[in-house]
Each structure stands twice: as C-alpha cells, then as structure tokens.
Amino acid sequence: MTYILDITRQQSTDSQPYVQSIPFETDDPAATVAFAMRQINASPDCKDINGETVTPISWECGCLQRKCGACAMVISGRPMLACDAVLSRVARGGRVSIAPLKKFPLVKDLTVDRSAMMEALKSAEVWLKAHASAEERNEGFVFDASRCLQCGCCLEVCPNFYAGGEFSGTAAALPMARLMAALPERDRELEKSYLRHFYNGCGKSLACRNICPAGIDVDSLLVNSNAAAVWKRRFGGRGR
C-alpha cells in the first residue's frame, strides 16, 4: 500500500508554509505516521511526488509508544500523537494530512515550542506544599492525573486556550487535580489557582473530553477538582 503524506513544511516562522506530498510505501498494517516519517528521514534519497528531494522533516519524536507526548501534531485534522496514528486508520482516500499544532509558536516544519505549557504550570504554582498522603478513595485519581503527557492535544482543540494567556487549559488542570487528590488536607491557594488558571476561563465546551491520547478520564478529574475548588467539597468525596 502506498500512502501520500501531505506534510506542512515551514523553514521558520519568517517563511511561508507549503505542503509537500511524499509517497510512503508499506505492507505493515501497524505502520504509523511516526514510523513513516522516521523512515523518510532515514532515506537521504527520498523524493516527493514531484520528484523533489525531501530534506529532513523537523518533528519531535521520543518513545514511539504513546508514553512521552513528544510527537503531538494535527493528523487528518485531529490533534494526536504521530506514534498513535496508524496510517490505515487515519488515511482518507490513501492520503494523510500532517500539520503542526497551531496553538504554539512554530519552530520548524512540525516542531513547535510548547514551553508555554511548562511556564503556565509554574505561574499557577503547581507543586506540593505539604507531604502527600492520598486518601484511599483518591489513589486512582492520583494515578490517572499523573499520566498526563503534557502533549498539548487537549489545548489544540480548546476554544478558550491560547499560549501565554491566564487560562491554562486542561493540561494545567490535570496536574492540579493530582495535587488536590494527593493532599491529606485542602490547599486553599491551589484551589484559588485552579479557579484563576482553569475554571474561570473554561467555556465548558467539553472539547477536551475525548481527545487525550493517554485516555485519561478528564471528566472525573475535572468534576472532582470543581467540587473541591468551586463547591468547597473534599476531592473525591461529598463532605466539606
């Protein structure tokens, strides 16, 4: 099977983007976009459909198994991890469009600078101010919230998020949920930070619900965080 990868290329923020269409042949039904781009980059003689040589494609790649979040990009119109994008599933009529995340400053081709996400967590003071000691009912929440990849897919679909704004999106809310679930006592400062950096700016579009490549149960974590920060209830429970 030969797929055509329509990859958005851009040398730098100052240059014009263009789409380069690159054929990729594979018999492996499990082949992913990440696998294809690694193969293309490892072939110095690779040519696009017009016979032009393909210069190395800039993109971030790490674990190749959905655990590090490096390769988040927009594939066939949906933000996802390139290592999770099986070609046969994401192709439309044998073609796959591949573009960088749009919510972050472009570096080159498919590489973007997501440091705004880490800066947002710092601004929101997301760290433990006491020793953790989760109640038993919250252990699963700590585990699930800890799985956040900081890949940015949930921010890409969010109508309220823009890099550098006060609203930091679900990618900041989940680490805050981890802390709320892990602490034996309520942390009022953290709850205020949650309101300021997440709840108040969230338009409740729920666009982030089913986009997480790690499959985190975003609903549960946000519901419990809201209960704690907005309704002054204990995280994971009913009592105040």
Partner 1 sequence: MGAINIIGAGLAGLSAAVTLAERGVPCRLISLQPSERAQSVLAEGGINAALDTMGEQDSPALHFEDTVKGGCDLADPNAVAALTEHAPETVRWLESLGVPFARSGGEIALRSFGGQRKKRTAYAQSSTGKMLMTALIDEARKYEAQGLIRRYSHHELIRLVISGGECRGAHVRDRITGLCAELPGRVILASGGMNGMFPSRTTGTVMNSGDVTATAFSQGVLLSSPEMIQFHPTTVGIPGKRCLVSEAARGEGGRLFIAKATGEKWYFMEEKYPELGNLSPRDVVSREMYFARRQEDTAGEVCLDMTGLSDDIWKNRLSDLREELIRYTGIDPKNTPVPVHEGIHYFMGGIDVDIRHRTNIPGLYAAGECCGQYHGANRLGGNSMLGAVYGGRTAAETAAEGFSPSQESEPAFAPLDDEPLLTPARESFNERLAVILTEALGIVRRADVLESAIGKVRALSEEAVCQREKLRCALALAMLRGALERRESRGAHYREDFPQRSDDFRRTTVARFEANDAVISFREIPERRAEQ
- Residues in 57-116 at the binding interface with partner 1, rule: CB under 8 A: 60-65, 67-70, 107, 113-115
Asked if 31 touches partner 1 (CB under 8 A), the answer is: yes
Nearer to partner 1, 32 or 225 (CB): 32
Residue with tokens 């975003």: 218
The least distance separating partner 1 from the CB of residue 30, rounded to whole angstroms, comes to 5
Tell which phi-psi region holds residue 66, choosing left (phi > 0), alpha (psi between -120 and 50) or beta: left
Distance CA(134)–CA(132), nearest Å, equals 6
Specify whether the CB–CB gap between 149 and 214 falls below 8 A.
Answer: yes
Q: Which helix (H) or strand (E) holds 190?
A: helix 188-197
Closest CA to 40 of 4, 66, 72: 4
In the complex with partner 1, which residue's Cβ is closer, 132 or 223? Answer: 132
Rounded Cα distance between 82 and 74, Å, is: 9
Closest contact distance (angstroms) between CB of 177 and partner 1 is: 12
Residues that bind partner 1 (rule: CB under 8 A) add up to a total of 48
Q: Which of 127, 200, 206, 237: binder of partner 1 (CB under 8 A)?
A: 127
Binding site for partner 1 (CB under 8 A): 28, 30-32, 34-35, 38, 41-44, 60-65, 67-70, 107, 113-115, 118, 121-122, 125-128, 131-132, 134, 136, 139, 142-143, 146-150, 175, 178-179, 182
